[in-house]
Amino acid sequence: MIIVLLLILGFEPFVATGDPLAQLCGGAYSNMNGSTYNANLELLSTMLSKSASSKQTLLAKGFVGTDQDRTYGVALCRGDSMAPACSRCITTAFLDAQRVCVVFEDTHVLYENCIVHISPKDLIYDSAVVLNGLLIFSGNSRTTDPGVSIEVGSKYTNVSIDGNIKLLLQETAKQAAYNSATRYATGCMDVNGTDPLLYSLAQCNQNLSPNDCWDCLDNIRSAVQSFFYRQRGEWIAGMWCNFRYDPYQFYKGEPMKQIAWSASVDPATNMVVARQPAPGPVGVPRQKDENKPVVVPSRKHKSKQESRFFLSQN
């Protein structure tokens, strides 16, 4: 009865906290005390969860506070998330931020349905720091699907697996960057007759240009290539892009990209021979980005209270 009343009044039921799949804490409190920071998180959580879940891009970015105590946040839900799940995930992330990163202003948390970044600095894309603060979750093969049987911790034995995983992620990243308005794509590869299919996902913050999305995904893909042979699944997330692969279909819907297995791998580099496509749609030359990141100026404020909150329209 209480829950029904809350829903009628427009409130969501209590959202329980839980351990993130991965988290990164850094940057101790500087210009603000703990109570101010927690108040900022509460307001930012409310605004970003509502904004992200109301957009097709499932992305929200903004800040709260004055020049002296500002807190920035970016929340991105997985491309196949429904609005209620997106909102709940972001709310949970902000609750957990105060628990897992108690004395830190920089907080990055990864969940099944969303990724949240909180910082005292504006989170504007910078290609020079793409590899800073990566969230890496290995062993994704744990699944609650009773129809999926996977031996956790086992390794692929086919010598071509590394090159093909790279190819799978490369093609999925290309699809997300150049063939998706929401910068989200999924893929699938038939490994061989004994190992399960490999499924992949690549996603960028939608306000990135196609070239920046590609560069972001390609950078993190290259940075963690040594992990492939040891894992049956992995998720690597940065502030502006993330990719994942797993031996079970962890996303909803049909794969957007089917990638064929290749037995031709250069043993020196473990890369697929003559299969590396140039980024960008086939037959369309790569263009210079016309939409470089633009800082949207906020109106001039006469008081601290007026500059309490700003939500990016990207």
Q: Please give the chain's pLDDT, 314 residues, in tens.
A: 333 322 223 333 334 456 799 999 887 666 667 788 888 889 999 999 999 988 777 999 999 988 878 899 999 999 999 999 999 999 999 999 888 887 788 899 999 999 999 998 898 898 888 888 889 887 644 443 333 333 444 455 555 677 788 889 999 999 999 999 999 999 999 876 566 788 999 999 999 999 999 999 999 887 765 556 556 688 999 999 999 998 889 999 999 999 888 776 543 444 444 334 445 544 344 444 444 433 333 333 333 334 455 666 55
Same-domain check for residues 161 and 234? yes
Residues 32 and 93 in one domain: yes
Residue 39 in any domain: the answer is: yes
How would you classify the pairing of strands 257-259 and 184-189?
parallel
Domain that holds residue 52: 12-124
Mark whether 263 and 158 lie in a shared domain: yes
User: What pLDDT is attached to residue 251?
Assistant: 94
The reply to whether 234 and 144 lie within a common domain is: yes
Q: What SS3 class is residue 243? A: strand
The answer to whether 132 and 123 have CB atoms below 8 angstroms apart is no
Looking up tokens 């804490």, which residue turns up?
A: 25
What is residue 8's predicted lDDT score, i.e. its pLDDT? Answer: 29
143 shares its domain with 165: yes
What does the angle CA 119 – CA 122 – CA 126 come to, to the nearest 5 degrees? 110
The secondary structure of residue 306, as a DSSP letter, is: G
| Same domain as 213, residue 189 | yes
Q: Which of 108, 124, 140 is the last residue of a domain?
A: 124
Read off the pLDDT of residues 138-193 as tens digits, 9 standing for 90 and up: 764 444 333 333 344 445 555 567 778 888 999 999 999 999 999 999 999 987 65
Instruction: Report CA Rg, the chain.
Output: 21
Residues 150 and 21 in one domain: no
Do 238 and 180 share a structural domain? yes
Give the chain's domain count: 2
Query: So what's the pLDDT on residue 211?
Result: 96
Residues 157 and 64 in one domain: no
Question: Could you tell me if 235 and 156 lie in one domain?
Answer: yes
| Domain end residue (candidates: 124, 153, 173) | 124
Asked if residue 146 is part of any domain, the answer here is yes
Q: Are 118 and 64 in contact (CB under 8 A)?
A: no
In a domain, 137, yes or no: yes
Whether 59 is in a domain gets the answer yes
Task: Please tell me the predicted confidence (pLDDT) of residue 165.
Answer: 84
Domain membership flag for residue 288: no
Kindly state whether residues 201 and 265 are assigned to the same domain: yes
Shared domain for 45 and 139, answered yes or no, is no
Q: Does any domain span residue 309?
A: no
Smallest CA-to-CA distance from 314 within 75, 133, 95 is with 75
* Residue 159, domain CATH: 3.30.430.20
The pLDDT, as a whole number, for residue 314 is 54
- Domain end call among 252, 272, 292: 272
Residue 131: both structure tokens together: 């590899």
In a domain, residue 6? The reply is no
